[in-house]
Amino acid sequence: MDRSVETVFPGTTASDQISREELQLAARNHGMPLEALRYAVTPLGLHYLLIHYDVPAVDPAAWRLVVDGRVERGLVLSLDELRERPSVTHRVTMECAGNGRARQTPRALSQPWLLEAVGTAEWTGTPLRPLLEEAGLEESAVELVFSGLDRGIEGGVEQRYQRSLPVGEAFGDHVLLAWEVNGQPLPPQHGFPLRLVVAGWYGMASVKWLARITAVEAGFRGYQQVQAYRYRQHPDEAGVPVSRIAPRSLMVPPGIPEFISRRRFVPLGPCRLEGRAWSGWGTIVEVQVSADGGGEWTPAELDPPSGPHAWRRWSLTWEPEAPGDYQLCCRATDETGRSQPLEPRWNLGGYAGTEVQRVEVTVARGMQA
Ligand SMILES: Nc1nc2c(c(=O)[nH]1)N[C@H]1C(S)=C(S)[C@@H](COP(=O)(O)O)O[C@H]1N2
Ligand SMILES: [Mo]
Per-residue pLDDT tens over the stretch 154-204: 999 999 999 999 999 999 999 999 999 999 999 999 999 999 999 999 999
Q: Is 52 in the pocket of ligand 1 (CB under 6 A)?
A: yes
Rounded CA-CA distance 60/69 in Å is 24
Task: Output the residue whose Cα is nearest ligand 1's atom 24.
Answer: 207
Please give the distance, rounded to the nearest whole angstrom, from the Cα atom of residue 122 to the centre of ligand 1.
16
Rounded CA-CA distance 144/7 in Å is 34
Per-residue pLDDT tens over the stretch 102-135: 999 899 999 999 999 999 999 999 999 999 999 9
Q: Is 190 in the pocket of ligand 1 (CB under 6 A)?
A: yes
Calculate mean pLDDT across residues 313-322: 97
Q: Is 337 exposed, middle or buried (0-12, 13-18, 19+ CB in 10 A)?
A: exposed
Query: CB under 8 Å to 293, separation ≥6 — which residues?
Result: 327, 329, 358
The pairing of beta strand 357-364 with beta strand 264-267: parallel
pLDDT at 5: 41
Across 40-44, 107-111, 312-316, least confident range: 107-111
Q: Is 146 in the pocket of ligand 1 (CB under 6 A)?
A: no
Task: Output the residue whose Cα is nearest ligand 1's atom 23.
Answer: 204
For the cut 80, the answer to whether the pLDDT of residue 3 exceeds it is: no
Q: Which ligand is nearest to the CA of 207?
A: 1
Atom of ligand 1 nearest to the CA of 209: 1
**What pTM did the predictor assign?**
0.96
Which stretches does DSSP call E strand in 96-182?
107-108, 118-127, 143-154, 157-166, 175-181
Atom of ligand 1 nearest to the CA of 150: 1
Q: Which residues of 105-142 are buried (b: 16+ CB within 10 A; e: fewer)?
A: ebbbbbbbbbbbbbbbbbbbbbbbeebbeebebeeebb
Where do the structural domains in the chain lie, given as residue ranges?
Answer: 14-241, 248-364
Length of the chain: 369
CA triple 258-250-19, angle to 5 deg: 60
Q: Is 150 in the pocket of ligand 1 (CB under 6 A)?
A: yes
* Dihedral angle of Cα 212, 218, 220, 226, to the nearest 10 degrees: 170
Rounded CA-CA distance 278/250 in Å is 9
pLDDT at 25: 97
Rg of the Cα atoms in the chain: 21
CA triple 134-179-312, angle to 5 deg: 105
For the cut 70, the answer to whether the pLDDT of residue 1 exceeds it is: no
The pairing of beta strand 271-278 with beta strand 248-251: antiparallel
Amino acid identity at 242: V
CB atoms within 10 A of CB 364: 13
Cis ω before 241 (30° cut-off from 0): no
Of 50, 123, 213, best ligand 1 pocket probe by most atoms within 8 Å of the beta carbon: 50
Atom of ligand 1 nearest to the CA of 97: 14
CB atoms within 10 A of CB 294: 15
The third-level CATH classification (topology) of the domain covering 248-364 is Immunoglobulin-like (2.60.40)
Q: Which ligand is nearest to the CA of 206?
A: 1
Looking at the structure, give the CATH architecture of the domain made up of residues 14-241: Alpha-Beta Complex (3.90)
Q: Is 100 in the pocket of ligand 1 (CB under 6 A)?
A: no
Please give the distance, rounded to the nearest whole angstrom, from the Cα atom of residue 31 to the centre of ligand 1.
13
